[in-house]
Structures are given as structure tokens and as C-alpha cells.
Amino acid sequence: MSRIGKQPINLPSEVDAVINGQSVEVKGPKGTRSFTATDDVSIVLNEKVIVVKPRGASKRARQQWGMSRTQVANLVTGVTKGFKKELEINGVGYRAAIQGSVLKLSLGYSHDVDFQIPTSVKITCAKPTEILVEGIDQQVVGQIAANIRSWRKPEPYKGKGIRYKGEYIFAKEGKKK
């Protein structure tokens, strides 16, 4: 049985949820998000608590149970707190700056990399070597952070590049004489 699926989802006072068939719509201070579950689970709203239950004992129903509960919990977290990913830039001359709706990255190429900031996320640069990606959708925030990181992944010899904050890069030993 799913240990995650058993847990009910408590809605904070500032969050409203509407369940219409298999779709859940959650409204909160940061925005509105929705999720449509498969027919293998049932979603019930009792006052300020959402409960997800499987509709049978099949393997697929049990798989969808925990996943659907987590997706609905992420909707609630997204519209209340939001999600964020922090990136660090390491390397001489590597830096980031925001100009309007464009993130300008100087990453050692012959040209600056211009990354168009989508409207669904907010990107800020407190320092030239730090990038903060924030939004209400966990998947979108993670994908945009991964897209920014892909411009210059951290290399294992000197550690230069863009990495997630707290990410450990296994350093390799250089050439020997």
C-alpha cells in the first residue's frame, strides 16, 4: 500500500480547492493551478482536507494513488509558498545579469548568451554569480533551471560552469608529468 497516498492534504486557510470529476483546481495567493488525475483514483474534498484513494487493487491504481496525491500536494505548495531553484556560476569572467525580460549570461563564449525569461517564472540575480528561479509550477522551475545550467555545465577539473546551489561536482585529477 502507498504510504504517501494515505496521507491527507490539509489546505491552508488562504487556499481554495474545487474538484470537478477527476480534475482539481487550487487557488491561492500566488496564483491558480490545476491537475487532472487518471480514472484509477478518486479525489474527495472534505471541508479543508483533500483525500486521494485508489479505485481498486490493481498495480496501476496503486501507482497512480501516490503520484496523484503528490501532484495535488505540489499544487497546494506552489500556490502558497512557490518553488525555487538556486544556481551558482563559477569561473573567471562568468556572470549573469537581467536586462528587461532577458537573462544575459557571459560564460566564456565569443558572445553573450541571451535567455528569454518565460512569463510563468521569475528570475533574479542578487549577485552576478547567483541566479534564482522562482515559480508556482515545480516542473517548469526545474526545467528552466536545467536549461540555464545546460549552457555551461560544471566541468570536473576546475569546477567552472553553472551548478545548482549545494551541488557537489566530483573533481578529477589533472594531467601528471
Q: What is the CATH number of the domain that holds 23?
A: 3.90.930.12
> Which of 80, 102, 120 is a domain's end point?
80
Residue 115 CA, chain-centre distance (Å), reads 18
Give percent of the chain above pLDDT 70.
99
Pairing outcome for strands 49-54 and 41-46: antiparallel
Q: Name the domain count of the chain.
A: 2
> Which of 19, 46, 80 is a domain's end point?
80
What does the alpha-carbon distance between residue 44 and residue 19 come to, in Å, rounded to a whole number? Answer: 8
> Which of 37, 62, 80 is a domain's end point?
80
Res. 78: pLDDT tops 90? yes
Domain interval for residue 146 = 83-164
pLDDT digits (tens, 9 = 90+) for 126-142: 999 999 999 999 999 99
Q: Is residue 8 part of a domain?
A: yes
Instruction: Kindly state whether residues 34 and 51 are assigned to the same domain.
Output: yes
Secondary structure (DSSP) of 104-152: EEE-SSSSPEEEEPPTTEEEE-SSTTEEEEEES-HHHHHHHHHHHHTTS
Q: Is residue 171 part of a domain?
A: no
- The reported pTM is 0.86
Q: How confident is the model at residue 1 (pLDDT cuts 50, 70, 90)?
A: low
